[in-house]
Amino acid sequence: MTDGQSIGKATGTATVNWAKDLTAGLVVFLVALPLCLGIALASGAALESGLLAGIIGGIIVGSLSGSHTSVSGPAAGLAAIVVAQITSLGSFQAFLLAVFFAGILQVGLGFAKAGALSAFFPSSVIKGLLAAIGVLLILKQIPHVLGHDTDPEGEMSFSQPDQENTFSEIGTVLLGDIHVGAAAIGLLSIAVLVMWERNKKLKTSVVPGPLVVVLIGVMIQLAFRRLGGVWEITGDHLVQIPVAETAAGMIEFLKFPDFSQWANPSIYLAAVTIAIVASLETLLNLEAVDKLDRFQRDSPPSRELVAQGVGNMVAGLIGAIPVTSVIVRSSVNVNVGAQSKVSAIFHGFLLLICVGLLPQYLNMIPLASLAAILLVTGFKLASPALFRQMWSEGKYQFLPFLITLVSIVLTDLLIGILIGLGVSVLFILNSNLRRPIRRIVETHLGGDILRLELANQVSFLNRAALFNLIHSAASGSHLLIDATETDYIDPDVLSMIREFKEKTAPARDIKVSLKGFRSKYQLHDEIQFADHSTRELLDRVTPQQVLDIMREGNRRFRTGQRLSRDFKRQVDSTAHEQNPLAAVLSCIDSRVPAELVFDLGIGDIFSVRVAGNVVGTKSLASIEYGVSATGLKLVLVLGHTRCGAVTASVDLISRHEDVTRATGSTHLPAIVNEIEPSVHPEDAERYQSLDQTGKEQVVNAVAERNVFHTVKQIMTRSKLIREAVEAGQVMVVGALYDVRSGAIDFFTDMDDEQEEVAGSVADRTE
């Protein structure tokens, strides 16, 4: 599928796609005219060199680029470099040779896939660039909108060629240096654009608002010319394209590089400078424009470097200043509705044709109209929503964003971007230095463990933070260094860990366990604590301590703080013996897996599961086996809310149906008969008339009473367990698991709590 087909599919028809692209290309052409001229002027080059750069950026770079919305041409960010290099090399022709070689370098970078570096640009800097361009467009266009055109259009630096700066220029305008006719056109243009944006029919029409603004501006300018006086708009307040008298005069616009300078080392130094700066600006602008794209398409950055390189090779051969992807024209392109690169190519052809054939007509366009288009674009780029979004993402995003914005506004595009990137790197390093390791205190069966979870990359920059953490471990404590998710560890860090484990830790009575270290690091996995039940642990814990372990495990389960377990090691450790701490009689319900809801490991409990967590001969025998054969310390009867077995039993009992006849099961009565004593007659009689909420309340109450009933049955029917309880060797406890919240309510004082739930739901709701 081609670009045109894919976009046509996204927008409905291919016809709409072409219409939008061609009208967008026309608007970008109108905006690009003064920008090409102004940037050439700010670069100390001939005006026609800026126009040639715009043509090359549109036709050649646009055709080769893989971007759907980026527009290339002369860039304000390169103006200072162009001025410096022309002065340094001594002639514009020598500079053109440097531009040609810079293009070759960019092509090489593209084929070397250097565009992949764009993936490392922080989003905060990209968004700061967009917002800064928006702010600059607003600040820089205010004078032009009001007819103060002493500074060339497209000049974006804080310190301006007219000896003013961005803010003092506005001050001069506010003090009265305003051209009445230009200001009238500029303010009217803004009003038309705002109205066009707010009217749905106008906004979605084929004719874009900026084009209407330019046409209105030309007509009013011609009318003002008749009025004369302060209303007449002439000279610097209009577009000023060089006009060639003949075809031969147009050819004179072309300049050719001085190849005799090929052995001059300064040429290659200038070429490297231009290539690096132009490539950096292109990649940053490409990322920024992709964020504006309504279809959120990704542009291939390495292909873009090749396209820009070819463009600059041509620029050097025919006398144009360097080209890059430019954010101002690209953002106008997106805002007007461009959907493919046809718009960028079309704008290049319009520059070529109109500048060559219709310069006198283009010179009728007031700069105030074009400034209004850019000013409104600026408000879209620097929208309050963007600032609110960055603020909500926290200081590590907002501060680099804000610093990038302020730096670009107060210096120039290139310096501001470099400052933004530098600050962002510092924030990343600071974040990495502060939090290279996740510190977790885990309560395992054998006691508290301080687990240090290393990051994916642990460099020498993280050494100090890790040193402070491991040396802060208290004497007699246990430390686990977990490198399971780590791909790289700096040799200095490995040496520090090895020295701490072998020398410092033994001297301070600190046990150090290692986990997840690769064999090449020569640090072998070694776990020196019990993360599953052992005979030693079982012999020294009391029934109450086991209950506390179960409570704590459920707390971790509920809060998402489950312990990191090595199940392979637990399988190996429990292969020859088992030493469970508790037996859990729970329901067969799939929502209540005992090991998970108590955050336990392999071998920690006997799990006895039966529908309705009722006790029968075989389940009771299983629990007795655990008490007598393994010496477990806790028997826990675990019921749960919304229990399916209890629901079915209550429903059958309330309808007074024979269980076998109603279900076809000859074994189900054994479960229903065990649950029936927990169903109050009053609840059974009214059950069928209740709504869904009322039925659920009855079921949950029966499930809770059933837990007490099962506990009582265990104590009554098992002499072995009863004697173990009386001897203080075992506790028998009931609990109810809430399937909605994951919380477990433990019933430790069974006699008092049994009285509390003894009444029916009807009694408790009266």
Torsional class of 568: left (φ above 0), alpha (ψ -120 to 50), beta (otherwise): alpha
pLDDT at 11: 40
Query: Do β-strands 634-640 and 744-747 pair in parallel, antiparallel, or remain unpaired?
Result: unpaired
pLDDT at 702: 95
Q: Which of 467, 497, 521 is the last residue of a domain?
A: 521
Residue 392, domain member (yes or no): no
- Give yes or no: residues 481 and 576 share one domain: no
554 backbone dihedrals φ, ψ, rounded to 5° = -65, -35
- Give yes or no: residues 283 and 305 share one domain: yes
- Give yes or no: residues 231 and 361 share one domain: yes
Residue 420, domain member (yes or no): no
392: tokens are: 């909500």
- Give yes or no: residues 16 and 87 share one domain: yes
In terms of pLDDT, which residue wins out, 390 or 515?
A: 390
DSSP code of 521?
G
- Give yes or no: residues 362 and 452 share one domain: no
pLDDT at 7: 42
Domain with residue 614: its CATH number is 3.40.1050.10
- Give yes or no: residues 738 and 709 share one domain: yes
Residue 555, domain member (yes or no): yes
pLDDT 10s digits, 628-646 = 988 899 999 999 999 999 9
Q: Which of 461, 488, 521 is the last residue of a domain?
A: 521
pLDDT at 766: 45
Residue 736, domain member (yes or no): yes
Write the CA distances from 532 to 88, 258, 413, 476, integer angstroms.
74, 80, 60, 21
pLDDT at 536: 63
pTM greater than 0.75: no
Question: At residue 103, does pLDDT exceed 60?
Answer: yes
Instruction: Show contacts of 713-721: CB within 8 Å, 24+ apart.
Output: 713/615, 713/620, 713/674, 714/585, 714/615, 714/620, 714/623, 714/635, 714/637, 717/615, 717/620, 718/620, 718/623, 718/624, 720/624, 720/627, 720/628, 721/623, 721/624, 721/627, 721/635
Total tally of structural domains belonging to the chain: 3
Instruction: Work out the average pLDDT over 110-134.
Output: 86
Domain of residue 446 covers: 435-521
pLDDT 10s digits, 343-385 = 999 999 999 998 888 888 888 989 899 889 889 888 888 989 9
Q: Which of 469, 494, 521 is the last residue of a domain?
A: 521
Question: At residue 130, does pLDDT exceed 70?
Answer: yes
Q: What is the CA radius of gyration of the chain?
A: 39
pLDDT 10s digits, 27-59 = 999 988 888 888 888 788 888 899 999 999 999
- Give yes or no: residues 660 and 606 share one domain: yes
- Give yes or no: residues 140 and 276 share one domain: yes
Residue 148, domain member (yes or no): yes
- Give yes or no: residues 581 and 450 share one domain: no
- Give yes or no: residues 465 and 322 share one domain: no
Question: At residue 14, does pLDDT exceed 80?
Answer: no
Contact, 613 vs 639, CB < 8 A?
A: yes
- Give yes or no: residues 451 and 550 share one domain: no
719: tokens are: 């002499």
Domain with residue 501: its CATH number is 3.30.750.24
Q: How many helices (H) and strands (E) does the chain have?
A: 37, 13
Contact, 34 vs 41, CB < 8 A?
A: no
Contact, 553 vs 577, CB < 8 A?
A: no
Beta bridge partners of 606: 583
- Give yes or no: residues 662 and 753 share one domain: yes
Instruction: Work out the average pLDDT over 104-125.
Output: 88
Residue 407, domain member (yes or no): no
Residue 498, domain member (yes or no): yes
Residue 527, domain member (yes or no): no
